[in-house]
Amino acid sequence: MRLLPETNSYGNLTENFVWQIPEKFNIGVAICDAWADKDPDREALVFAEDGGDVTSYSYADLKRLSNQLANLLKDRGVQPGDRVGVLMPQRPEAAIAHIAALKLGAITIPLFTLFGEEALSYRLGNSGAKAVITDENGAVKLSGLRDQLPHLSTLFCADGAAEGAEDLWGHMRGHEDTFTPFETRSDDPALIIYTSGTTGQPKGALHAHRVLLGHLPGVEMSHDFLGQPGDRIWTPADWAWIGGLLDVLMPALYLGVPVVACRFRKFTAEAAFQLLQDHKIRNAFLPPTALKMMRQIEAPQDRWTLNVRSVASGGETLGAELIDWGRRTFGLTINEFYGQTECNMIVSSCAAIMEARPGVMGRAVPGHQVDVVDEAGKPAPDGVLGTIAVKSPDPVMFLGYWNNADATRRKFTGEWLLTGDTGQRDADGWIRFVGRDDDVITSSGYRIGPGEIEDCLLKHPAVAMAGVVGKPDQRRTEIVKAYIVLKSDIEPSDALAEEIASFVKIRLAAHEYPREVAFVDALPMTTTGKVIRKELRARAEAEE
């Protein structure tokens, strides 16, 4: 089932790689029914509740339950092409809802539980969702929005009837547990996933069923060949984001790797280590922000017994400091990967076959043509800064932004999808992330990425988190300004600010050190844990 052969060289991996995308393909069938038919009792999902209860679901369980739900939705008039919202944290019903709606040929919209009414109204209105499957919290939020959402005719709640929502389990029980899936083509739409909204209003990326196959090489590579005997995966990233849904839940189910689901009331470093230990997690996707929180615990290896085989990280710059910490803590090299909601998992490291280069994300994942291009869409020479771009067609690439043909057009130059990220490629095809185009700092004629400076700042023993931006400056165009969250027991002072600035000055080039250092209690972050540098930039400009 794995797409990549196990080999010991990157060359072998890429040379013989050919996509095999069948004409007909359905994600729901591929991640559930396919296994249920050949190995029904195989463990698919492990639900670890906050109170300590653990429930295990086999593929046969998921098939039976998703069939019941598919019949129920069909009964309520949901048809192929209709949109179905899934508003739940990590829990079995969320997986079952996706599988059921996809088998029905509907398009699912993963929605994040922390979204407020405005965010939900925007997404459900924009996508014209006909049905939503949610929990009690979601039902309360949606109850006030029904007037604004004329298309939304069906609302089910996984915690029993609540606030105008019907009891999901009660209604499912009355339905047949056999269902004939709708035969979707691999190019048919399957999901609308909204971007993180780091740079502005989130955009709904419409993906086809093939997007799952498009993810597999990157998922396999970033976990040193995911799908080994005993593999068992977990991520704190919510399944409402591409990083939780298509980098973990769906590909793991496809590969037959059990997924541990957990809904933390609040993510804490302690809870994360405890879960890794208690559920014998072998593979984890831990975004850099989660790693930075976990890093604040002293000597975790003395408190927890871990048996992790692979850790993948992405969504933000990983950097040397976190890689070093990962080696000490997990005894392995964290693999960085790169992508975006529109076109994901296209660059990766893979410690099993190539030595990590801290500060460099990795190389093109087999099957994807990734390059750095200039403004005209021409590949830039080695080492020259340009925009990271992906050549189309590519099975992992989105179909377009939902209801926004203009934005879709702007995303491409010729056959290249432009990521909007600045990077650099070397002669061996390693790709360095410099920064989002808007985040790159121009100072005294140099173009500087914030990631490298943030990574260096993290090495200072007093620093917990760092966000770096350019602050307008008459003489130098911009100067580097660092916003720092100190570790909990450290007092801010001017002397410490100076010490931190010179700490960077002696480690990086002189033009890269932060001429200004400000201490803050927290950095502005998206719900996915990404630093919103745009906000820091506005703050820096306002200080002028």
- Which residue among 82, 247, 421, 452 contacts ligand ATP (CB under 6 A)? 421
- Kindly tell me which of 67 and 195 has the beta carbon lying closer to Mg ion: 195
Rg from Cα positions in the chain = 23
Burial of residue 518, with CB atoms counted within 10 A of its CB: 0-12 exposed, 13-18 middle, 19 or more buried = middle
Residue 64 engages ligand ATP in binding (rule: CB under 6 A): no
- Kindly tell me which of 48 and 334 has the beta carbon lying closer to ligand ATP: 334
Q: Could you tell me which stretch among 120-128, 142-150, 160-168, 310-318 binds ligand ATP (CB under 6 A)?
A: 310-318
Residue 224 engages ligand ATP in binding (rule: CB under 6 A): no
Residue 529 engages ligand ATP in binding (rule: CB under 6 A): no
Count how many residues are written for the chain. Answer: 544
- Find where tokens 């899934």 sit: 86
- Which residue among 159, 188, 220, 336 contacts ligand ATP (CB under 6 A)? 336
Q: Could you tell me which stretch among 6-14, 76-84, 193-201, 422-430 binds ligand ATP (CB under 6 A)?
A: 193-201
Q: Could you tell me which stretch among 47-55, 80-88, 131-139, 333-341 binds ligand ATP (CB under 6 A)?
A: 333-341
- Kindly tell me which of 66 and 198 has the beta carbon lying closer to ligand ATP: 198
- Find where tokens 């014998």 sit: 280
Residue 432 engages ligand ATP in binding (rule: CB under 6 A): no
Question: Across the strands, what pairs with 401?
Answer: 205
- Which residue among 10, 47, 433, 483 contacts ligand ATP (CB under 6 A)? 433
Residue 387 engages ligand ATP in binding (rule: CB under 6 A): no
Q: Which one, of 26, 394, 371, lies nearest residue 214 by Cα?
A: 394
Angle at 258 between CA 132 and CA 195, to 5 degrees: 45
User: Could you tell me the two tokens for 208?
Assistant: 């086809």
- Which residue among 48, 102, 361, 370 contacts ligand ATP (CB under 6 A)? 361
d(Cα 278, Cα 308) in Å, to the nearest integer? 12
Which of ligand ATP, Mg ion, none does residue 154 bind (CB under 5 to 8 Å by kind)?
Answer: none
Count of residues near ligand ATP by CB under 6 A: 23
- Kindly tell me which of 65 and 370 has the beta carbon lying closer to ligand ATP: 370
Which of Mg ion, ligand ATP, none does residue 401 bind (CB under 5 to 8 Å by kind)?
Answer: none
CA atoms within 13 A on the CB side of 388: 30
Which of Mg ion, ligand ATP, none does residue 530 bind (CB under 5 to 8 Å by kind)?
Answer: ligand ATP
- Kindly tell me which of 108 and 196 has the beta carbon lying closer to ligand ATP: 196
- Kindly tell me which of 36 and 208 has the beta carbon lying closer to ligand ATP: 208
- Kindly tell me which of 112 and 433 has the beta carbon lying closer to ligand ATP: 433
d(Cα 436, Cα 422) in Å, to the nearest integer? 6
Angle at 199 between CA 195 and CA 200, to 5 degrees: 80
- Kindly tell me which of 138 and 315 has the beta carbon lying closer to ligand ATP: 315
- Find where tokens 């061996």 sit: 428
- Kindly tell me which of 88 and 390 has the beta carbon lying closer to Mg ion: 390
Residues that bind Mg ion (CB under 5 A): 195, 340
Which of Mg ion, ligand ATP, none does residue 421 bind (CB under 5 to 8 Å by kind)?
Answer: ligand ATP
Minimum distance, C-beta of residue 436 to Mg ion, in the bound complex (Å): 8
- Which residue among 530, 533, 536, 540 contacts ligand ATP (CB under 6 A)? 530
User: Could you tell me the two tokens for 138?
Assistant: 């979601």
Minimum distance, C-beta of residue 221 to ligand ATP, in the bound complex (Å): 13
User: Could you tell me the two tokens for 531?
Assistant: 């630093």
User: Is residue 206 a contact partner of residue 408, using CB atoms and an 8 Å limit?
Assistant: no
Residue 314 engages ligand ATP in binding (rule: CB under 6 A): yes
494-507 helix and 450-458 helix, angle to the nearest 10 degrees: 120
Task: Tell me how crowded residue 541 is: count the other CB atoms within 10 A of its CB.
Answer: 12
Q: Which one, of 460, 539, 531, lies nearest residue 317 by Cα?
A: 531
User: Is residue 335 a contact partner of residue 223, using CB atoms and an 8 Å limit?
Assistant: yes
- Which residue among 317, 329, 335, 443 contacts ligand ATP (CB under 6 A)? 317
Residue 524 engages ligand ATP in binding (rule: CB under 6 A): no
What x-and-dash track marks residues 79-118 binding ligand ATP by CB under 6 A? Answer: ----------------------------------------
- Helix (H), strand (E) at residue 516: strand 516-519
In three-state form (DSSP H/G/I as H, E/B as E, the rest C), the secondary structure along 475-514 is CCEEEEEEEEEECCCCCCCHHHHHHHHHHHHHHCCHHHCC
- Which residue among 238, 316, 321, 512 contacts ligand ATP (CB under 6 A)? 316
Minimum distance, C-beta of residue 344 to ligand ATP, in the bound complex (Å): 8
d(Cα 389, Cα 477) in Å, to the nearest integer? 27
Q: Could you tell me which stretch among 116-124, 214-222, 311-319, 456-464 binds ligand ATP (CB under 6 A)?
A: 311-319
Q: Which one, of 530, 435, 533, 454, lies nearest residue 195 by Cα?
A: 530
User: Is residue 352 a contact partner of residue 224, using CB atoms and an 8 Å limit?
Assistant: yes
- Which residue among 256, 315, 400, 449 contacts ligand ATP (CB under 6 A)? 315
- Give CA separation, 387 vs 218, 317, 373, 416, 421, in Å: 21, 16, 5, 10, 6
Tell me whether the omega of the peptide bond preceding residue 393 falls within 30 degrees of 0, making it cis. yes
Which residues lie near ligand ATP (CB under 6 A)?
A: 195-200, 202-203, 314-317, 336, 338, 340-341, 361, 419, 421, 433, 436, 528, 530
